[in-house]
Every structure is written in C-alpha cells, then in structure tokens.
Structure 1
Amino acid sequence: MKTATTIGISASTSFYMLCGLLGYAAFGNDAPGNYLIGFGFYEPFWLVDIANLCIVIHLLGAYQVVVQPIFAFVENWSCRKWPESKFGNLEVEIRYTSITSGHEPMIFPFFNEFLALIGSTTFWPLTVYIPIEMYISQAKIRRKSLRWMSLKILSLVCLVVSLLAAAGSIRGLLVSVQTFKLLQSVS
C-alpha cells in the first residue's frame, strides 16, 4: 500500500505540476483552465468527449479515495455521539439518474474552481498531515529531534501552500460568479 500510494501521489503531483508550471510559463495568466478546449480545439467532438469522460472517471475515483476517510470519521463520530438517532443510523437507498454530458456544464458551471477548492482543502490533511503524524507515531520519533522538526516544517509548508491555493480558488469562484450569465457561453 505504501509503494502504491507513493507512486500514485508522485505521478499525479508530477503531472499536475508540469501542466500548471508549463502552462503558466507558456501563457502566463492567460493559461486556459481546460487544456482540452481552451485553445479552440473542439474537433473531432468524439475525441474531446472521450478525453473529458476519462477526466471525469479519474476524478470520481480520486474523489472516492480522498473523501472516504472523512466520511467514515464523521459517521463513526456521529453514531457514537447520538446512538439513538434515527437520522444518523438510518440507511437510505439513493437511485441515480443518468445525465447527458450536455447538462453537466449547466448544473456545475464553475467546475475548475470547485475542483481547485476541493483539491486545496483536502491535499494537506489527507496527503501530508495524517501520513506524517502516522509515521511519527509508528516510528516513535522523539519530539523536537531533527527528524521530528523536519517533518513538522514540511507539514507546515504544505499547509501554507494549501491555504494559499484555497484562497486562490475562492477568489476564482468569486470572479466566476460575478461574470456568470445563465445559459450563455463564455468562449
């Protein structure tokens, strides 16, 4: 599990950093939020649709992996705190309806901004803080030793990066909301 997690996080971090850094280096603030269609590449439609479908599948999987520990923690805590609650212990079956890809942008118009906010708020606790604290506990690293201080500084730096990223994504959401016009394309 440790090897798989290391490879997965390293690969996705490298890919996203390359996209972000190279896109910013090449286009500055004019870098498109969606590289697939941000440059005016709309045809063949089927190729763009397949690429977008792959991104959605990737993000659904990543979302489930990242959020499951949070859901489990909240559920367990709630069930212990309120064992008699029908709401907390009730299981509800949810039936999903299929939505065609043309409706998704209308339902979720600020996809990039929401994705950035979710990523920035989940990166530090799930990818940095919890694994570092688990390692410190498991390896029985002495408090205030050089290794302990190094790990805490790394965690703090990543927290600051996550907070800055969250602030940037919130600003992006606010700018998008101000310029949003219902059922009108920006491009």
Structure 2
Amino acid sequence: MNPSSSPPDSSPLPLSQQLQLIKDLQIFKIQGSDRRGRPLLRIIGKFFPARLVSAEAVKKFLEDEIFPNLKGRAFSAVYVHTEVNRGDNFPGISALKCIYDAVPGNLDTVYFVHPGIQSRLFLATFGRLIFGGAGYGKVKYVTRLEFLWEHVRRKGAEMPEFVHEFDEEMEWRPTTVDYGLESDHPAAIHTFDSTVSTYSMRCIA
C-alpha cells in the first residue's frame, strides 16, 4: 500500500505502547483450523481499543507478529462481533481499508460471527469500498456458534465466555434474520426502509 494513503496516527500512545496493548489484549490470535485444515486467525472486535490504537500500529503488529507465523499458507479468519460498541471499537472506514490492505492474498474466508442488522447494512453499503469486490465476497455471516462449528473445528477455536453467553441468549431472542451461514443478504437489507439512518457510517455496531 502507498504510505501516503495511510490514515494519520491519531493514537495518544507511543507506537511501542500501542503494539504492547494489542498483544496484551489478544485481539488477534492464530488458533485452531477450519474444516479444510486451514489455520484460523481469531479476531475479537470487543477487545479492539479504537481510541488508543492506530491503523498503522495494527498493520505493524499483523505484519510482524501474525502473518509471518502463517508461513504463506492459505488461512481463514473468524471475526467475532459480539458486544462491539461503535464508539469504542470501530476504527473508521479509512483505518479499516488501511488494515485490510495489509492482509495477504492467501486469506480464504472471513467468518463474521454475531453480525447485527446495522453491521450488515454497513458492510452492504461500504464493504466493496473497503475490501474490494473479491475481499467482500469472502465474508460469510454466522449468526450462531453452532453454525460456525460446521465450518471450523471446535477443538482449538477458543471463544471468550461473553461470546458463549450472548450465543445462549440468542436462542430466546426473536429475529427476522435466518440462522446459518450467509455470503450476502439482500433479503435482510430490503426488509428495512433504505432511507433510514442505518446507512450512516455511525452504525457499525
């Protein structure tokens, strides 16, 4: 990626402290594998301190600490969106694009766990801008952990306790979205009035 297109470093912390914070919070972790034997990169959205960590720090951490351990192999990612707060955990569109541009081309699939309606609408609107058509096509929405285990080997794929608790609560929540694995969701989008503010950049959560 051209360095001139990178978003400015807006973190109040020095780069070294940002990198240590990312490591300590275990936002990114290689663990387990999918059903085809590809290693998994687990990403916990709730742990991401968007106000303290810059896109450049995330890129450097991934390039130095995560991607070399994949050794060029194809891999899948599990992004856990459970209890993400847009004010605390969303880095912004330009930062997301900057981070994604650092991801190697051997990323096979991104399993997006516990997507909300607003996050679906956000990605439907801005996903191709951020990830490009090919990258956006790799995103698969997974509404429940039981459906994730159909594609990911449960052994070795650890999830924080709050993710399991939220998943159990989902059993009792009425929903207008079909359970399962989805690569795109026009039916869900057209269920809502396209004029409402859910298309706003503020509605990632």
- State the TM-score, normalizing by the size of structure 2: 0.26
Q: Specify which structure has the bigger relative contact order, considering alpha-carbon pairs within 8 angstroms and separated by 6 or more residues.
A: 2
TM-score (norm 1): 0.27
Larger Rg: 1
Answer 1 or 2: which has greater strand percent: 2
